Structure formats: C-alpha cells, structure tokens
Structure 1
C-alpha cells in the first residue's frame, strides 16, 4: 500500500484542542518529553467538602498542574478540567493554581524566569465551596498581577464551558488571552443572565446570539482578548509561543482604566448588539491613533 500523502490527508493531521482533557491540553503546550505533573491524581489531594454533600470527588479536584518547558524555557501550566463539576473552582483546585503561580513568582523574583499559562475552562466558583472558592480565586488574581511584572501571563479559553464568574476577572488580568471561536468569556453565563433578568434580556438557548455577544471572535473584536485561533492543538501552541515572544506588554488591560471607561460611556444600554459593541471599539481605536502631521 502506498504511503504517499493524498491531497485530502492534511486536515486529518489536525488535533482538536477543545476535545482534549485538561491533562492532555497541558501536555500539548509543553515541549515534547518535558511534561511533569505536580500534585497529580496519585497524590489524592481531594476536596474535603464535596463528600459531605454527596458529591463524588476527583483525585486531582479537576485541576492539572504541569511543569516543563515552552520553547526551551521553564514553564508551568495550570489546566482546569471542564468535565468535573463544570470546571468550577473549589478550595483544592484553586489552591493548586494559586500555589503554582506563586511558586513561579518566587522563581522569577530570584532571576529564574518561568513562563505561566492558565487554561481556563470554568464557570467560576464552586457553589458547594463558595466562600473558600472566592477566597482562593482572589489569591489567583493577586498572583497573576504580581507575576506579570516579570513575565507575560498567558491565558487560553478554548471551549466546552468557557470562562465565567470570578475566573473571568482572572482571565482579564492575564497579559495575553488566546481564544477560539468556540470559547466564551463573560462575568455571568447566559443561563444566569436569563434566570436573573428574564428571557427578554437574553435567551440562553439562542446559541448563535450567545456566541455573537460573548464568543471568542467577538471578544477579540472588542479588545477583551488578544488572539483568535482555530480549534487546533498546534495553532493554540503556536499562539502561546507567540505571546511569550512578545514579552510583557507596555500596559495590561486592567491598567487601561480610562480607555475602557471611555468605551463604556459610548455604549447605549438600550441598544447593545454585537455590531454596536464592535463599533464602540473601532471608533475608540481610531480616536486613539496618533494624528498624522501634515507637511
């Protein structure tokens, strides 16, 4: 049988990043052969609270922490598993992420730069551990802010669940945010908005509308994310490499308060559409461009 590739063979070489579990997502971003998991399933660091409420634990609490290298440089990847409790953040999973980032921070402060990546796939705080989850999310956010003074902190939102709640704020604090079209980013998920504000405000079953408002493509177009990639493991990997190659940005999103306040002032709450949001960003971007000097 011939081993020559056919013109139709190339698409089969693509590997969906979204379909990978958290552990394999982390492995795909690290240089081949460098993946080393910290506090893995065999360490059995489980939530002490879920069994009290009749919920079966997962041995890694739905969070994978991996060390290795990215483009030959030391790196740490924190990957949230959407298949466990919707990727919700509890005391253990959140502490693993915060500790991993704080460990990277200590290395950076000693002059050993570690590249941090967070793979967001979460609805936010775990309701069964609400106060503990909120506290540890604050620790994650503080670690990101401290780390990004030394090295870019790269976040990835691929798909299946998206990124909501307090973890959406953590994503917004990242130096660079890589998203796919399938990814979603928002403070509140569409189901929560419908429940609290009514179906007239947002029909959560209208998938096209939901993705038009908070999908990856829209978030890049409205400057809330930095790079849109296809659902392809190699494309995500390349985007993460490119983000680190850019270095620490001159100003992070959370430092551009005046710019975002100006954009908010241009929004008509009675007429919020995907198009109007893009127009606000386009107008603001054009307004902020330096004026050309005439000869």
Structure 2
C-alpha cells in the first residue's frame, strides 16, 4: 500500500473533550464564531477568601461563563475549571453560575428562549468558603428547577474530576445529563467514603471498582444519566445538540419520586453490586435500554 493510500485510509483524529480546559470546552460546544465570555479573567472577579488561607486566587475563580448560540439559538454555558482548586464551588464561581442561569431564566420568561448548559467538573463546595459555597449551590439548583419548564437544562460530566457533593444534586436536576465513561457522579467521592466509612466499605485506590460503581457507563445503565458518549469533543457537541432537539422531557428525574422510592426499596444493602443496581434501575435490559451513544 502506498504512503498516500495509508494516509487517506487512516481514521480521522479525535479531539479529547476531557483534555480541553473549561474555556475551550465552552467554545467547542457553541456555534463557530459565537463565543463571548462574560466576567472573564480581565474583569478580575476573584475570591476574597482564598488569600486569607494563603491560596493564590484565579482571576475568573475557576468558572467560565460564555454566551453564544447552539444551532443558531441563543445559549449560555457555565464551564467549571477542574484545574483550579479541583473545580470546587466558592462564593464567586457559584455566583457566576447562578447569575448566568438566572439571566437565562429572565430571558425565557420574556419569551426569548436561551439554551443553558452546565459543564460539571467539581468536587463540590469549596471548604475554604463552605457556608457561602453551599448557599450559592442552592441558588444554582433553584435556577435549574425554574428554567426546566421553559427549556431543557443540559449537564455534561466528562472527567477526570467528576461531579460530587452539592453539585451532584444540581447535575441530577438537569433535564438531560451527558457523561463519558471517564466521568463519575456521586454524592460523596471515593476518598470521602473511605475516610468516613473505612476501606472495607470502599477502597478509593481500586479505580476499576470505583468506576464500576459511579462511572459514566454505570450511571447511564442505572438510569441516573441519559447519554453516554466517547471522549470526543465532536461527540459531546452532537449529544448536547441532540438533547436540546428532544425538548423539555415530560417528567424530570427529580419529579419521579415514587418511582425512585420503589427502586430504592428493592435494593438489598447487604449485597450491592454494579450488576444488581443495573437490574433494579433498568430491569428491561441493563446495558442497552437507556444507553445512548451520540
């Protein structure tokens, strides 16, 4: 085979979404040329609390807010930067997300629909700003719930930090949740579980076990997330576009209280495995029925 033939037959290169910083993740999801950042680094909106702890601030406090369009429709993206303080949510970063969602809500209430996307990459509340962070996470959650009757709220958990703590509840409130295999979703992270309940409960160093329990594939198979995609920026973008095309779901997960209580009642705490959880949450076919590849 000639060199030119080998080049032409090679598969197209893929852009890893996980490896992109928050700003570029947001830019990638918006229509080309439409990206416009609000309260960016040059506005120097940074935490007043971190210097008191001897921590160097970041001028955007680890959160990127971008306006633009998705499929030609107005959109806003809140992208959390995992490289700064593990994507933790403090007063400033959380307020930026809450304000962006509340601005989108006001537009929606006036009849101008804005498509909201949250790129979750966070261990939850920032311990140095615990009470302030918790309060603003509640504001984020309230804004998501208020937006849902108007327009789908789309969340993405790509990796490698995942989504934990109070922000895992925010993710669960989203109309549609897109995850990669590398993404993780849980109320408590593996290290916290091991620290509080002991290594017998969960060995945080057992990466295979951790991903079996709370990884993206498992969360889709157990109906706690909606779409599983490869770590491919184009695939993530296609999944986001497809989610908005589906429109507002007839019932959000957080509204299906009786259904989830029935599922919880079928779980035997003494014999929990990834397979038994899939059976409980998705008895019609563990790996296939709720799993969507975009």
Same fold flag (TM > 0.5): yes
1:181-238 deviation line (CA, Å, top 9, x unaligned): 0000000000000000000000000000000000000000000000000000000000
Q: Secondary structure at the match of 2:213?
A: helix
Identify unmatched segments of 5+ residues in structure 2.
287-294
Q: Which runs of 4+ in 1 moved over 4 A?
A: 2-5
- The answer as to 2:280 corresponding to 1:267 is no
2:292 aligns with none
> Residue 11 of structure 2 corresponds to which residue in structure 1?
10
Q: Which residue of 2 aligns with 1:48?
A: 48
- CA deviations on 1:22-75 (whole Å, 9 max, x unpaired) are 000000000000000000000000000000110000000000000000000000
1:7 positional shift: 4.8
**Count of aligned pairs:** 285
Residues 145 and 173 of structure 1 are in contact (CA less than 8 Å); yes or no, is this contact kept in structure 2? yes
> 1:174-193 maps to which residues of 2 (within 5 A)?
174-193=174-193
Partner residue, 1:153: 153
Q: Determine the structure 2 residue equivalent to 1:95.
A: 95
Trace 1:38-187 onto structure 2 (pairs within 5 A).
38-187=38-187
Offset of 1:282 from its aligned partner? Answer: 2.7
Residue 244 of structure 1 deviates from its aligned partner by 0.1
* Structure 1: tracts of 5 or more residues without a match: 287-295
The 2-side partners of 1:235 and 1:270 are apart by 38
CA contact (8 A) 2:137 2:166 kept: yes
Deviations 1:60-116 (A, max 9, x none): 000000000000000000000000000000000000000000000000000000000
1:210 aligned counterpart, secondary structure: helix
The residue number in structure 1 matching 2:23 is: 23
SS in 1 for 2:156: strand
Aligned residue runs from structure 1 range 220-259, under 5 A: 220-259=220-259
CA distance in 2, matches of 1:275, 1:285: 11
What CA distance in whole angstroms lies between the structure 1 residues aligned with 2:272 and 2:75? 40
Per the alignment, in what secondary structure is the counterpart of residue 6 of structure 1? helix
CA–CA distance in 2 between the matches of 1:226 and 1:119? 15
Question: Please, what TM-score do these two structures have when normalized by structure 2?
Answer: 0.94
Deviation at 1:281, TM superposition (A): 1.6
Q: 1:258 to 1:42 in 2, by over 3 A?
A: same
Question: Is the partner of 1:283 in helix, strand or coil?
Answer: coil
Deviation for aligned residue 1:138: 0.0
Root-mean-square deviation (CA), in Å?
A: 1.6
Asked if 2 retains the 8 angstrom alpha-carbon contact of 1:62 and 1:80, the reply is yes
Equivalent-residue separation in structure 2 for 1:230 and 1:7 (angstroms):
23
Alpha-carbon contact 1:89-1:125 (below 8 Å) kept: yes
Q: Which TM-score applies when normalising by structure 1?
A: 0.94
Give how far 1:160 is off: 1.1
Contact 2:279–2:285 at 8 Å: present in 1 too? no
